[in-house]
A and B are shown apart, each in its own frame.
Chain A
């Protein structure tokens, strides 16, 4: 979707046009859900969080200033919702969700051991670092977009990407404790 079309749809959605908002959701759901799936770990939970992010964005749309793209803005809302939900649910729930996601990953047909190792390594990353890795390495957001979404300095984002990638690569090495 080009920026002109996006601006037109945002303007219409601000006036209450739910069809225009549906077009925005349709265009950006893949990036937001993909990011939250990698950040939250569990697919079903992540999709619920993504839905909540889009509903919150609809409510806050009159306050959207357009300084970042709509995709970045909704991803930022999703990140804050997911981070708060993680804090509320605690570690036990996270462990359960990792197990469940491993079962889902097993049905995908791609290298299962790698997926599980990467997912476990992702779970072990600090929240901000995991979010940066999910955005930049998983969804292809630029470093500056990730900095805007997570409200972090650009240098911090770059160092999170480097360190996060190193830790994930280490998890794929043989004899890494598995």
Chain B
């Protein structure tokens, strides 16, 4: 056997099998685990960001409310008045509708 053929034979030995389901399965398992880890991290980061934004908003609203308590009271009274008006209007509309449908 000449040197070229010996080299080809020596290099040709390190082949992997043409079909290897256990290797493919190991790759898919690792890939799925990797995807799960990435998606979990992403979900945790987005939930954390939303929670942090909500906390900042709530704190700033509380701070503003403490400084402008009179304004907050007026706002609450105004909102309650509007709510009462809307509720009364809806009640009257429903009664009117019931009366005309008879």
Contact = CB atoms under 8 A, between A and B. Distances in A.
Interface string A23-64: 001100110011001100001000100110011001100000
A118 B49 CA distance: 57
Given A111-B6, A117-B10, A169-B7, A25 B16 contact: no
Contact of A18 (B10, B15, B26, B32): B32
B13 A115 contact: yes
Interface residues of A, number: 35
B18 interface: yes
Contact of B24 (A25, A111, A169): A25
A59 B34 contact: yes
A21 B28 contact: yes
A141 B28 CA distance: 26
B23 A172 contact: no
Interface of A: 18, 21-22, 25-26, 29-30, 33-34, 37-38, 43, 47, 50-51, 54-55, 58-59, 105, 108, 110-111, 114-115, 117-119, 137-138, 165, 168-169, 172-173
Interface of B: 3-4, 6-21, 23-28, 30-32, 34-35, 38
